Amino acid sequence: MLVTTSTLAWGVNFPARLVIVKGTEFYDAALKRYIDFPLTDLLQMIGRAGRPQFDDCGIACVMVSEEKKNFYKKFLYEPFPVESSLAGQITDHLNAEIASGTLQKFQHCIDYLTWTYFFRRLTKNPAFYGLTNTGSISDAINNYLRQLVQATIDKLVRAKCIEFDKESQSLNATTLGYLASFYYLSHETIQQLGDKITSTNSIDELLSTLSNAKEFAGLPVRHNEDVLNEALTHLVPIKVPKHDLESPHVKSNLLLQAHFERCPLPITDYITDTKSVLDQSIRVLQGMIDISSHKGYLSTTMNLVHLIQMIIQGQWLDQSPLINVPHFEDGEIIRKLANLGVLYLPQLVERCNRDIKSFFEKVVKHPLPFEDLKDIYRAVEKIPLVEMKYSIVKSNTQEAILTGQPLEEGGDAIVMINLKRTNRSNKQFVSISNFPKPKECTWFLMVGNPATNELLAMKRVSFKRYTTKEMTICLPEDFRGQPLEVVLMCDSYIGLD
């Protein structure tokens, strides 16, 4: 006998001779009441009844209250029409099509809808979609589609995802619209991020902005979990609104902080929820980085990269970068390494590459077992050490390069950057213990002006042994010869920037 939740019916193929569905309701924390299971979920659960390789029949028993008995009997024995859900998601769909260049005019959007299953069901069951027919059915459908498309375009314009020219009826995607489509982000999320990201955001503020993204609105907050969330607030350093502990966004914030703090979670469901939050976070953060870099915010972009590092490594930025090395968890070896001047990952890689066994004999009183040394070496050899060289190879005035004169204000320059991995191993996957998925190591290259907190250029880089990248920068009009910086930041390790 297997007792399980409804979600297992979707994820794992467990056929059975007898399936009992004990009730058809679940508690919805957002609505604060019990609601019926979606009919598709119920079908999926009872569909597990039957083992073709063992039995010639299967039995499904659905326990339901008396007043709903006839409804479910009709549902189980007679086919229900499948209706479209496009109308509730149309805003993000149209944004993606506009960003890809498929839809360029208002009329294109209407034509696009006529090719969908939504349009087929609209003609067959208009009342289900709120279409009231007061005259010709074709005119009613045409007016309905025009109003739907106009309302959708108005939403996208308010979210700054598209630009709409009323005279020519043309549609053009903005940078925010392209980012929403590329990262599969809701237009509401991209609007919120565009409004919230400023030039001086701290990591705490960015964490709050991240957790308030719509992508976390579906995180389940179960019955009485507000009590568990309140208990978590005493274990994490950043305060959250105490009056809103039933919010999925507050729960997302608490789970991220608990991930950094490495504090124990109260129930197993929170472990599953944390994996879901971490998986979503990277995608949203990548979009936040592109928004910040598009606005030219240097410090905010760097803080966002630090936030990705924290999520991948499962620690706060001010903790020791050595904390994720195997067998260093208790902190004793880290303290002894600090006494020897080993504080950062590159120093540890250098010492371990010489003779790891003799080195750790100096660190600990009792020799570490061979298997422990092997684990440490495996983790350390994955850590990438990169040498960076750069030069200006072209500008708007060739004389400035030949004579070493400073570049002109408002002029362009091309910075040639050479990256070379200096350690022997070229393994791409990151050594991590607290992130649920394998992760390849990538880098962010930035050219910025620290004096004005301005980001002039940014590029993502991934390489095994060496690579060369060009970055074109435009010097601001008020440049005045201020020193610029070339910054290389790892998206996976803390302490390699």
Boundary (domain end) residue, out of 281, 313, 345:
313
Q: List, in order, residues 6 or more apart from 38 with CB less than 8 Å away.
A: none
Confidence of residue 357 (pLDDT cuts 50, 70, 90): confident
How much is the pLDDT for 361?
77
Q: Nearest-5° angle of CA 180, CA 183, CA 184?
A: 70
Nearest CA among 320, 329, 332, 321 for reference residue 364: 332
Q: Contact at 8 Å (CB) between 284 and 189? A: yes
Q: With a cut of 50, say whether residue 71 has pLDDT above it.
A: yes
Contact criterion met (CB below 8 Å) for 455 and 446: yes
Question: Which residues 6+ apart lie within 8 Å of 355 measured at CB?
Answer: none
pLDDT of residue 472: 87
Three-state secondary-structure class, residue 143: helix
Number of domains composing the chain = 5
- Predicted confidence (pLDDT) at residue 482 exceeds the cutoff of 80: no
User: Is 175 in the same domain as 213?
Assistant: no
Give 483's pLDDT tier (boundaries 50, 70, 90).
Answer: confident
**Residues 214-234 as b or e (16 or more Cβ within 10 Å = b):** bbbeebbbbeebbebbeebbe
Do 393 and 369 share a domain, yes or no?
Answer: no
Distance between CA atoms of residues 189 and 195, nearest Å: 10
Residues 154-163: tens digit of each pLDDT: 999 999 999 9
34 and 21 in a common domain: yes
**Mean pLDDT over the full length of the chain:** 87
Residue 157 lies in a domain: yes
* Separation of alpha carbons 72 and 78, rounded Å: 10
Model pLDDT for residues 194-213, shown as the tens digit of each residue: 999 999 999 999 999 999 99
What pairs with residue 172 in β-bridges? 163
Q: Which is nearest to 378 in space by CA: 430, 440, 442? A: 430
pLDDT at position 403: 47
Q: Are residues 140 and 161 in the same domain?
A: yes
Q: Look at residue 481 and tell me whether its pLDDT is greater than 80.
A: no
**Whether 36 and 102 share a structural domain:** no
Largest interatomic CA distance in the chain: 91
Q: Which residue has the higher pLDDT, 166 or 330?
A: 166
**CA angle, 357 as apex, 356 and 358 as ends, to 5°?**
95
User: Across the beta sheet with 466-474, what order do the strands follow?
Assistant: 386-395, 412-421, 466-474
Q: What is the pLDDT of residues 406-421, one digit of tens each?
A: 566 667 788 899 999 8
- Residues 333, 284 within the same domain: no
Q: Which pair of structure tokens corresponds to residue 56?
A: 């010639």
Contact 42, 9 (CB under 8 A): no
Higher pLDDT, 305 or 40: 305
Q: What are 456's two structure tokens?
A: 């002039």
Q: How far apart, in whole angstroms, are the C-alpha atoms of residue 58 and residue 36?
A: 24
Clarify whether residues 302 and 328 are in a common domain.
no
Give residue 307's domain range. Answer: 197-313
The size of the chain, in residues, is 497
Residues 214, 304 within the same domain:
yes
Buried b (16+ CB within 10 A) or exposed e, 122-156: beeebeebebeeeeeeeebbeebbeebbeebbebb
Of the ranges 39-48, 150-159, 391-400, 481-490, which one carries the lowest mean pLDDT score?
391-400
Per-residue pLDDT averaged across 122-143, rounded?
83
Max mean pLDDT among 35-39, 114-118, 400-404 falls in 114-118
Tell me the CATH number at 395: 2.60.40.150
Convert the pLDDT of each residue in 99-110 to its tens digit. Answer: 999 999 999 999
